[in-house]
Homo-oligomer: A and B are copies of this chain.
Amino acid sequence: MDTLKGFQVVAEDHASAARTGLIQTPHGEVRTPAFFPVGTHGAVRGIDPAELESVGVSGLLGNTYHLHLRPGEALIQKHGGLHGFMAWSHPILTDSGGYQVHSLDHLCERSEDGVRFRDPSDGSQHFLSPERCIEIQEALGADFIVILDEFEPIPLDRTQADAARVRKMMERTLRWAERAKSSCKRKDQQLFGIVQGGGFEDLREESAERTRALGFDGYAIGGLGVGEDTNARALLVSAALRPLPLDQPRYLMGIGHPEDVVEAVNLGVDLFDCVIPTRHGRHGVAFTNTGPIQLRNARFRIDDSPLDPACTCPVCARFSRAYLRHLLAAREMLGPRLVSLHNIAFYMQLMTAMRDAIGRGEFSSWRDNWRRSYEPKSVGSSDATDSAA
């Protein structure tokens, strides 16, 4: 394996498709399965990079769309790329911006060439093509970059008319993937293709097969987390993973809740990103080993235990639920900040637990135990629309 770029599987579970691995990048390594918190505008909401490091975060996601609009990739490139600009010396993945652009709906106009769109905040015109998208991501300088894809951020439907529409977008995404790949200039970045195919297993499999044929450093699975249930998602992810090479990383974009992540690891996914730990944290939802809790609930008013007694994070080491609840009630910025940090730490501890269980060859029994103790109460949305910002 190239020391600056590459992936190797370290251990495989025997009873499932789960595996642990190691991704090398010019900014250090990522142990997989890994979860990348989202730094939309070049910052994980409210969290200092030194804090991310302290709770074991190995990589972040930056949003190409937002960074292109503000402050612009040229300025970021001048200030040491995204790593230097935001003072994060570990790996970064940038998305393509496609998700955000396609979500603009009436403000975007698609063609074979690319997507023309207006910035909702000032009405300025912008154009994103497969080539331009790579150019922007090369300027931002992330370790992992992804191709521009075409898809529609709507619930997966399975009528014949939908199938034809989804195939059309999938075919265009494949053509864009080829254009993106041949426009790449930097050799130190790892380029990921994106598997689409909506709610159709056969299209997911075909998309993965043909994306693999183009040849990428890794493979993302896009367009999920749009309201599908766990079983439907499992079938679609499995279909997408089937043709993908075992010796390359697989990345499930924008997913998700802890239970979603555990299920996807079970299917063989290596990499995740999601805004849930920080978005939920800002809204007073803290993750614990027995499930999420809404801290604003009156029952936490005099609760002097930490958010999660099993947690080793710097928040749980010092602050009570009662104090954090007070901060949220008083609208003190420190509240969202501390709950977000705990949530990120919770995800990191979850990923570590899974990597350890896989390494010991005990992932399936670990997963059974975890599912018995963790109750995924409905305290917030799990939609992939979460990843829009």
Contacts and interface: CB of A to CB of B under 8 A. Distances in A.
B85 A323 contact: yes
Nearest to A318: B87
A47 B334 contact: yes
B336 A333 contact: yes
Chain A, interface residues (CB within 8 Å), range = 35 or more
A70 B326 contact: yes
Interface stretch (A1-9, A37-45, A167-175, A246-254): A37-45
Given A301-B71, A330-B70, A320 B79 contact: yes
Given A70-B329, A332-B43, A319 B87 contact: yes
A26 interface: no
A79 B338 contact: no
Stoichiometry, copies per complex: 2
B75 A322 contact: yes
A361 interface: no
A334 B70 contact: no
A71 B326 contact: yes
A230 to B, nearest CB: 32
B75 A327 contact: no
Nearest to A85: B323
A203 B330 CA distance: 38
A78 interface: yes
Nearest to A304: B79
B41 A322 contact: no
A46 interface: yes
Contact of A75 (B45, B50, B302): B302
A314 interface: yes
A102 interface: no
Interface in A26-72: 41-50, 66, 70-71
Given A47-B334, A71-B322, A87-B318, 4 more contacts: A42-B326, A43-B334, A70-B329, A337-B337
